[in-house]
Amino acid sequence: MITGQWIPLVPSMLIEAGEVEQFLVEDKDVAVWRSMQGHVQIWENRCPHRSVRLSLGQVQGESLVCAYHGWQFAAEDGHCQRIPAQPDQRAPKSLCAKSYAVTEKSGMIWYGGDADYCADLPLEEVPFVYAGSVTLSTTLSQVQDYLSELGISDCVSHNRLVWQGHAKDSALRIYLTPTQSNVVTIHAMLLQEEHATQRHPLLNQMRQDLELEQLSYV
């Protein structure tokens, strides 16, 4: 498990204002959502009331509403703002959705887990565009070794989760999300002037090459 470091989770463009989606990161089930004002959140995908997945809920303004009993949780701190069955009572301060550290940079939403402090992201703010993702049933180290063999350089300060171009494609950046113990999601991004219109061919190449090593594609 990676601690005290940001993990790239999902391209920012895939979570628009008013949307909530389910993701896995380091075997944790999380709900990623963006408020109507554009603030992104990463929460444990479980309502503190009846444990229903919050990713089934609905964004209303700066709150996320659980799909089961309509409990409403604030984007700012996850605190329960409203219980429809008790509209005149204020929810106790301890009643909160569990939130995780989150930030956005270089076209990605980053997960910081429970850490009180995560190291700064030294990535420059370069305008990248999304060029597709692929999820493989393999280990993180196998994917990292594969990228290294291709001549793609890793950013050591990011636990080898961020990789930058190679001689044939210097505009390419690769982000790795350790989804589960033996599952990795690979995201491709290109410099904005490259105008990505379809999934980057490297993702298809990785799937084919890793399958030849008898690693199954999810």
70 vs 197: which has the higher pLDDT = 70
Q: How crowded is the C-beta side of 43, counted as CA atoms within 13 Å?
A: 34
Residue 209 has pLDDT above 60, yes or no: yes
Rounded Cα distance between 162 and 177, Å, is: 9
Residue 215 has pLDDT above 50, yes or no: no
Taken in order 97, 33, 44, 128, the sign of the CA dihedral is negative
Rounded Cα distance between 103 and 151, Å, is: 29
pLDDT of residue 82: 85
Taken in order 33, 35, 41, 44, the sign of the CA dihedral is negative
pLDDT digits (tens, 9 = 90+) for 168-183: 556 788 999 999 989 9
Band the pLDDT of 207: cuts 50, 70, 90. Answer: confident
Report yes or no: 17 and 36 within 8 Å, Cβ to Cβ: yes
**Overall CATH class of domain 7-113:** mainly beta
Picking from 92-96, 119-123, 171-175, which range would have the lowest pLDDT averaged per residue?
A: 119-123
* DSSP string covering 104-148: EETTEEEEEET-S-----------EEEEEEEEESS-HHHHHHHHH
Residue 56 has pLDDT above 70, yes or no: yes
Band the pLDDT of 217: cuts 50, 70, 90. Answer: very low
18 vs 202: which has the higher pLDDT = 18
Residue 160 has pLDDT above 60, yes or no: yes
Residue 54 has pLDDT above 50, yes or no: yes
Domain boundaries, the chain: 7-113, 128-212
Query: Mean pLDDT, the chain, as a whole number?
Result: 85
Rounded Cα distance between 118 and 183, Å, is: 24
Q: Stretch 207-212: mean pLDDT, rounded?
A: 76
